[in-house]
Amino acid sequence: MQEAFYLFTEIILVPLNYLIRKYMQIINNYEEYKSLEGVMVGSSPWHTIDQQQIDRFADATLDHQWIHVDSERASIESPYGSTIAHGYLTLALIPYLWKQIASVQNVNLEINYGIEDLRFGMPVKVNSEVSLQATIRSVNDLRGMVKVVVGARLVVRDESKPAYTGNVVFLYQFK
């Protein structure tokens, strides 16, 4: 049985790792980033936001509103019929989801600098699957630091409106 598991693992994981490397955007320097201006660089794999993740975020932020953490009450009183993720939880996923789309290499320093023009479009219900769609809006060299503005759109599986849209700003210092 163990041999079958290892064979299954090799058959499935090796091609999966190849596909991830093949379709993930690798960025090594300012010039490569600059060449991607205006390009939709990709979408992250789907990520499920479950109640445990919502509860942990509530604990970390001390935001225990019932609409986020009380499943029983939310099923009765919420207009959504269930608990929903904190809007800021969905934003906090940006660095994780971005790293599923692009691998920025050869950097000494990477800073989450801000978010511009953010608009929430709809709540994310518990157990929803979300994916980040990213477009490089602008890339500028600021005397050694590279400022990158990424258009971010968080889509929810089987929903027509995004959870949010905005422009995420990263700063990089390449080696």
- Walking along the chain (175 residues) 10 residues at a time, the average pLDDT comes out as 47 49 84 97 98 99 98 98 99 97 97 97 99 98 96 98 99 97
pLDDT at 21: 46
Could you give the dihedral angle defined by the CA atoms of residues 24, 27, 88 and 121, in that order, rounded to the nearest 10 degrees?
A: -70
pLDDT at 12: 53
Question: Which top CATH class is 38-174?
Answer: alpha beta
Long-range contacts: 22-26, Cβ < 8 Å, 24+? 24/100, 24/101, 24/102, 24/103, 25/101, 25/102, 25/103, 26/102, 26/103, 26/105
pLDDT at 42: 97
Torsion sign, CA atoms 52, 56, 57, 59: positive
Model confidence, pTM? 0.85
Domain boundaries, the chain: 38-174
Please tell me whether residue 132 adopts helix, strand or coil conformation: strand
β-strand pairing of 102-104 with 107-120: unpaired
pLDDT at 174: 97
pLDDT at 4: 46
